[in-house]
Amino acid sequence: MFLFPLAWVIFYIPTILADESGALVSGKRISDYSASELWARKGPKAPLPPPNGTSPHFKALVIGHALLCVFGFAVLLPAGVFLARYLRTFRPWWYNAHWIMQAGIAGPVITIGVVLGYMASGAFGKTAGDNHKTYGSVLFYIYFAQCIFGALIHYVKPKNATRRPPQNYVHALLGLVILSLGMYQIRTGYHQEWPQYVGEGILPAGVTSLWLVWCILLPIAYGAGMYFIRLQYRQEAVARLRIRKPGLPLQMSELEV
Ligand code: HEM
Ligand code: HEM
């Protein structure tokens, strides 16, 4: 699943580093720095001077990064969440659709998007660290942790449970946190990073309007899907009882929802 982005990173990063005109945008080329200078500039403490004119190469990396990250975090991940919220009570294949969307489809898109971000900001820490970069990396790790966690709660289920396992709530809650942080990350991306590093001024006001509309629509759409929550809990209670008392006829009063 991750072979494609991996191969892409392995083969593409050296090309980018070799492409001196695009690797650094502060007027200097990689070969102009000594190895110790490059390492000294790694991290937020000793940033390189801000770019005084951006190469088309840098801009292309940022645009690719922004488009893929927005598509991954604001379209694909929410789609996977809605698949779960709306389909789980009606379609037994909701789980497959959910993990394929979240890991199989969103995974490569997000991975390539974030790698483009790293490439834009420089393999050697070209620009100072800021919230967008720090939280962007953290969000990426949380996303991966969430995929592993999702698989764990699916395959390692408590035996003879009488209630919903708490870890299932944690996964759902963390999923919503990821969506919220993703929207925040998009905001800092287009509102702070773009004007600061791309050197083309701020983006049109329509971008903020679109972002706001999306921030409002996502929770409304998820909240509306809560309409099915009672039915879902009832179905899950029946399933738990069937495991504990196989073959016995079920009474509604026995359900521990
Ligand atoms: C390999 C990847 C994943 C697997 C195997 C997986 C698995 C699951 C499972 C088993 C559930 C049911 C939990 C429950 O009973 O409530 C679930 C629900 C959920 N997952 Fe994932 N998940 C994955 C990735 C993600 C990611 C990356 C997100 C982040 C956006 C996410 C967000 C959610 C949410 C919000 C729910 C609750 C949906 C609802 O309202 O019912 N999942 N997932
Ligand atoms: C959820 C979406 C996003 C995530 C997870 C994300 C994450 C990241 C990461 C991890 C980096 C590199 C960090 C580093 O080098 O330490 C980065 C850099 C960058 N991002 Fe994003 N980003 C997102 C959205 C955006 C958007 C929408 C834009 C602009 C429209 C944007 C603009 C930038 C720029 C300009 C840089 C490079 C800054 C520099 O030259 O140092 N990002 N992002």
Q: Residues 134-177: pLDDT tens digits?
A: 999 999 999 999 999 999 999 999 888 889 999 999 999 999 99
Q: Is the pTM of this model over 0.85?
A: no
Length of the chain measured in residues: 257
Q: Rounded distance, CA 20 to CA 46, Å?
A: 22
Q: Which ligand is nearest to the CA of 69?
A: 2
Q: pLDDT tens, 187-212?
A: 999 999 999 888 889 999 999 999 99
Tokens at 82, concatenated: 């809605």
DSSP annotation of 218 reads H
So what's the pLDDT on residue 248?
A: 64
Going by C-alpha positions, the residue among 99, 100, 106 that lies closest to residue 77 is 106
Question: Which atom of ligand 1 sits closest to the CA of residue 154?
Answer: 10
Q: In degrees rounded to 5, what are phi and psi of residue 88?
A: -65, -25
Write down all domains in the chain, each with its CATH number in brackets.
3-203 (1.20.120.1770)
Ligand closest to 211 (CA) is: 2
The span from the CA of 89 to the CA of 177, in Å, is 23
For helices 205-225 and 166-188, the axis angle rounded to 10 degrees is 170
Average pLDDT in the 74-96 region?
Answer: 97
Cα of 150 from ligand 1 centre, angstroms = 6
Provide φ and ψ at 104, rounded to 5°. Answer: -70, -40
Residues 6+ apart with CB under 8 A from 79: 101
Pocket residue to mutate for ligand 1, from 90, 98, 185, most atoms within 8 A of Cβ:
98
Q: Is the pLDDT of residue 70 over 50?
A: yes
